Amino acid sequence: MNVLFFLTPKSQIKYCDDTMSVRQVLEIMEYHRYQVIPILSKDGKYVGSISEGDLLYYLKDHPFKTLNEFNNVSIKEVKRHKDYLPISSNTEMSSLMVVASNQNFVPVLDDSKNFIGIIRRKSIINYLYMNSNQSEN
């Protein structure tokens, strides 16, 4: 099976670009209720992932009087604890399973290293569950 079977395309997910402010990223994450989102460069390359924890630690270490002050702070200034490992679109399923077991989603890159979407761990689990139920019948 091809890993692209599980792909949620870039057009259907929320991400931030590396030129956004801390406030903009916080608002995206709050609105969509995501704990982690991908960060992309302006040219569509995967830069890494930013988590609520990364932002909370940054806010703790850089107290501001108002949230508006974070409009002038680039997301690039936030230290990221752990970036989600990406895979290429031609990765073997066994390698996908190893990566997905350690993170909620797996960023997927094309042959030119452009970000094309994510594979959610939930999609893999649902697929395996549905197929295990069919084999029991």
Q: What does the domain layout of the chain look like in residue ranges?
A: 3-136
Confidence tier at 87 by pLDDT (50, 70, 90): very high
CB atoms within 10 A of CB 100: 22
CATH of 3-136 among 3.40.50.150, 3.10.580.10, 3.30.300.30, 3.40.640.10: 3.10.580.10
Q: What are 52-60's contacts with CB under 8 Å, separation 24+? A: 53/81, 54/78, 54/79, 54/80, 54/81, 55/22, 55/25, 55/26, 55/29, 57/81, 58/22
Confidence tier at 136 by pLDDT (50, 70, 90): low
Average pLDDT score over residue span 91-117: 94
Q: Is the pLDDT of residue 109 over 80?
A: yes
In angstroms, the CA 81 to CA 111 distance is 27
How far is the CA of 89 from the CAs of 49, 81, 95, in angstroms? 18, 25, 12
The pLDDT score that the predictor gives to residue 132 is: 79
Taking the model in full, what pTM does it have?
0.87
Confidence tier at 7 by pLDDT (50, 70, 90): very high
The pLDDT score that the predictor gives to residue 67 is: 75
Q: Is the pLDDT of residue 122 over 60?
A: yes
Residue pLDDT, tens place only, 52-75: 999 999 989 988 778 788 888 999
The pLDDT score that the predictor gives to residue 55 is: 94
